Structure 1
Amino acid sequence: MDRWQAMRIVAKVAETMSFAKAARHLNMSPPAVTRAVAALETTIGARLFTRTSRSVRLTEAGSRYVEECRRILVEIAEAEAAAAGHTGMVTGTLSVTASVLFGRLHVLPILTDYLDAYPAMTARTLFVDRPVNLVEEGIDVAIRIGHLPDSSLTALRVGTVRRVVCGAPSYFARHGIPKSPADLKAHRIAVSTGSWPSPEWRFRNDERVTLHPTLECNTNEAPIDAALAGWGLTRVLHYQIAPALADGRLQIVLGEYEEPRLPVHVVFPEGRDAAMKVRTFVELAVGRLRGNGVLN
């Protein structure tokens, strides 16, 4: 096996942290991947991975080697594109994930503009209200709302969002405006079980209120629709109701009790050595999202 192919295999094992998963991505058998890594370790005289029956981890030498492998592989791909007369051409399929409503409202317009700018590209979206493992699900870029766990992924902060309690003016006219979080117990509450499954709502200074929602919905849109109809109150992320706030159909209450804003990041693997399709999309997405008046 040539050195270039061995480097591809090592980089994929490091990305997936699994010989079996790397084999599936590369359309190889797991024994072939294992043999290739072992042969490369013998050639360079260093152990790249620590293997146990339950996990695969990079050694210190392996981390340094994989970083250089990724850089070299990107340079080779770009050199081949230049030699073929495709300098600057971005090709392939880009996969992007985000939450359902944020994806539809804010990511999809960026993605369609990206496809217009790079006509040789295709794209697919995974807009879901659940955590997504980028490596296991083959995702290139994620837009994540909330605090991020420590990981090897690169994350660029593009803004923040508020978590707010809201209702329609017609509801407040009939039932009054809550003056403190504890007052919410006297109001009808609609919630999304997907985005906020806990009955406990937290506020500034760690104030907590346990509520018993009258209406539980399996989508983010349904509680918003109930609030718009004047039925009750709900708690959402600010961007989800921006148009309704702007035209007065909804209003925010208890703003002085809000928790600190949640960060929004563009997340992707491989850092500076990311593929050109990822780098070009991230550059566009970061610029557009940072200029988005909703994420302030």
Structure 2
Amino acid sequence: MLSHDCVCLTRGRHVIRQWTVQEDGVSRDIHVKPTLVCNSSEAVYSWIRDGYGIGLQLEWDVEKDLTAGRLEICLPEFRHVSLPLYAVYAYRGGYPSPKTKAFLDYMSGQMTSQQDNAAVSSR
């Protein structure tokens, strides 16, 4: 991974250059040297799609481009460590409304079936 051109996201003044991956079920931190950095995830995705380097993206964000062959999963032996996702809703007596509960139940099922993150590059 260190020999690839890497495209990284920034948060504030912090460049996210440490990628935590799993290899054979063991977590490792890999420090990449980005060739491009940006604070816009859309720009990072566009750069990856345009072939400027590899980067970490959620598979559900790149699913259409993977299916269409515009992107491919590179370094499949490395899987990005799953990140927590929280649902925040208005407190109304301790229980979510029936619509909110239905949404949470649906999303919970979707998230468990699509937990992977991937390093992707353009084809």
**TM-superposed deviation, 1:193:** 0.7
Residue 286 of structure 1 aligns with which residue? 104
SS at match of 1:186: coil
Decide whether aligned partners of structure 1 residues 266 and 257 sit closer, same or farther in structure 2, where only a CA change above 3 A counts: same
Aligned to 1:201: 19
How far did residue 213 of structure 1 move? 0.7
Partner residue in 2 for 1:154: none
Pairwise CA distance, 1:281: 3.6
Q: Paired residue for 2:9, among 184, 192, 195? A: 192
Deviation at 1:238, TM superposition (A): 1.8
In angstroms, what is the RMSD of aligned CA positions?
A: 2.8
Counterpart check, 1:214 vs 2:35 = yes
- What amino acid does structure 2 have at the position aligned with 1:192? L
- The runs of at least 4 aligned residues of structure 1 exceeding 6 Å deviation read none
> Highest Rg: 1 or 2?
1
- Pick which of 203-212 and 189-198 moved more: 189-198
Normalised by the length of structure 1, the TM-score is 0.32
Cα separation, 2, equivalents of 1:265 and 1:280: 18
Cα distance in 1 for residues equivalent to 2:53 and 2:62 = 15
Q: Aligned equivalents of 1:248 and 1:208: distance in 2?
A: 29
Give distance in 1, aligned partners of 2:114 and 2:103: 13
- 2:46 counterpart SS class: helix
Aligned length: 110
SS of equivalent residue, structure 1 residue 283: helix
Instruction: Output the amino acid matched with 2:114.
Output: L
Structure 2 matches for 1:193-272, cutoff 5 A? Answer: 193-194=10-11, 197-204=15-22, 205-268=26-89, 270=91
Q: 1:251 to 1:235 in 2, by over 3 A?
A: same
Whether the aligned pair in 2 keeps the contact of 1:199 and 1:212 (CA below 8 Å) is yes
Q: Aligned equivalents of 2:67 and 2:39: distance in 1?
A: 26
The one-letter code of the counterpart of 1:219 is S
Distance 1:268 1:191 in 2: 31
Once the two structures are TM-superposed, the CA of residue 225 in structure 1 deviates from its matched residue by 0.7
Structure 2, gaps ≥5 residues long: 116-123
Q: 5+ unaligned residues in a row in structure 1: which ranges?
A: 1-183
- Correspondences of 1:31-180 after superposition (within 5 Å): none
Q: Deviations over 1:265-295 (max 9, x none)?
A: 423364x7247xx513422311332343763
Normalised by the size of structure 2, how large is the TM-score? 0.70
Higher helix share: 1
SS at match of 2:11: coil
Q: 1:266 to 1:229 in 2, by over 3 A?
A: same
- Percent identity (aligned): 23
Letter of the structure 1 residue corresponding to residue 98 of structure 2: T
